[in-house]
Amino acid sequence: MTTAHLPRIPATARKPRVGLVAGGLGAYWPQFPDLLPQLKRSAARVAERLGGFDAEVVDVGFVSDAPEGAAAAEKLRAADCDLIVGFLTTYMTATMLVPVAQRSGAPVLLINLQPTEAMDHASFDTGQWLAYCGACPLPEMANAFERCGVPFRSVSGHLRDERAWARIGRWIRAAGMRAVLRNGRHGLMGHLYPGMYDVSTDLTLVPANLGGHVEVLEFDDLRVRAEKAGDDEVAAKLDETRGVFDLDPTVDPDDLAWAARVSVGLDRLAADFDLDSLAYYHRGLDGETHERLGAGMILGASLLTARGIPAAGEYELRTSLAMLLTDRLGAGGSFTEMQALNFRDGVVEMGHDGPGHPAVSEGRPLLRGLGVYHGKRGWGVSVEFDVRHGPVTAVGLGQTRDGRYRLVASAGTVTAGPLLSIGNTTSRVDFGRDPGEWCDEWSASGVGHHWALATGHLLPELRALADLAGLDLVEVAGAGGGHA
């Protein structure tokens, strides 16, 4: 078994629901009888392609005047869409789409996709030209949206333009991430790591900034579920663990068995409370049950993360949310902090003690036995690996003094090289610049102590998400061409 064989926990959020309204100026139809059928064929093609992005498409048809636009707006409002796509097939007036944008309660993306990459100028008549005229109303729509206080975004291209479809897909994925946040259930278990002001956050700020629900949990909620774990369940979890991890000789069998029991309890906890993410911490004292539970979380939290429920230690709610976003992008997202700067090799060494995302490990992750968790109570098994070599993005969720959340991101590359063997995740990230300068700029962004380290360069996706979710995005310059 590897992490590829771990069953993903089905996401509780539905597929992104994309509303589609296509339109054109009704005055053209009696003048050019072949035009409307052609435009409707193009609209059907767009609906088919939108569905190919793993989205539920709500197609309200073709509108030709302002009353039809208003009727479409009501249908889309009732459909509770995550994104509405307005297809400008030819010229149409702003009165046909402004009601859609105002009443739907969802962000609107306007697309201008002409039939082919260019007209046949020698043979086209007026009716054939009008099928290529979707660009004509786009400045009109932008101006009207601005004056009505509606955010504007658009994609222009042609029906077979894969670059345009890639941009459209990016908006749909961003709408899906926005839906995950708006409908998410986020567990918060235990208490704040003492003294970490930056981690502390008013729980109301989560629904205020992102939507969703924070479920406040007790470690006793985990304790009773771990105590009820059957021996057969613990044995199955141990088999799963050996299939995913290599075991270092330092692993004590009793500590491993305890971690497996806690992992079974965590699985039940996540299912019982229908969690999409989890942040936790408990200090404890003198080896009592709650201290042992907190110390035994690393294995189960890592396995939960690999299965699609990101779990972050140190009560780091905002980072578990950032990890959820990057996971839903298919990029993983491992719990991360700064560890050291390597000026000789020009890399930033980052990772964390505690849980990681085994599915984005460069090789098979390792379980190492630790008699001491630095800065924390307890002992047991810990996870060790580096994130898959290649392009990565550091993604965090900061908080400003006025209570606003902001996305912070920087693109880099994980490179091979020497790593510590101390039971921590650690990656060597090259941001294409002096590590000290990067560290200073990253710290000044307001990101906070922790973030997610995700595979791939994600800045285009994060820009789209920030737009749809109404978040500021701070881009710290790195190898992916970001800017401060």
Q: Tell me the one-letter amino acid at 321.
A: L
C-alpha to C-alpha distance for 172 and 170, rounded to whole angstroms: 5
The pLDDT assigned to 5 comes to 63
> Are the C-beta atoms of 90 and 126 separated by less than 8 Å?
no
Residues 6+ apart with CB under 8 A from 257: 234, 238
pLDDT attached to residue 480 = 59
Q: Which two tokens stand for residue 411?
A: 């693109």
Looking at residue 2, its pLDDT comes to 64
Question: How much is the pLDDT for 377?
Answer: 87
Q: What is the pLDDT of residue 8?
A: 74
Q: In this structure, what token pair is assigned to residue 182?
A: 């708006």
Residues 6+ apart with CB under 8 A from 129: 119
Domains of the chain: 17-179 (3.40.50.10940), 184-475 (3.20.14)
Phi, psi of 458 (to 5 degrees): -110, 5
Is 374 exposed, middle or buried, given 0-12, 13-18 or 19+ CB atoms closer than 10 A? Answer: exposed
Both tokens assigned to 426: 């650690």
pLDDT at residue 483, as a whole number: 39
List per-residue pLDDT tens for the chain, 484 residues long: 566 667 777 654 468 999 999 999 999 999 999 999 999 999 999 999 999 998 999 999 999 999 999 999 999 999 999 999 999 999 999 999 999 999 988 999 999 999 999 999 999 999 999 999 999 999 999 999 999 999 999 999 999 999 999 999 999 999 999 999 999 999 999 999 999 999 999 999 999 999 999 999 999 999 999 999 999 999 999 999 999 999 999 999 999 999 999 999 999 999 999 999 999 999 988 889 999 999 999 999 999 999 999 999 999 999 999 999 999 999 999 999 999 999 999 999 999 998 999 999 999 999 999 988 888 888 999 999 999 999 999 999 999 999 999 999 999 999 999 999 999 999 999 999 999 999 999 999 999 999 999 999 999 999 999 999 999 999 999 875 443 3
Report CA dihedral (160, 162, 164, 167) to the nearest 10 degrees.
150
- Rounded-to-integer distance, Cα 311 and Cα 313, Å: 7
- Bridge partners for 219 per DSSP: none
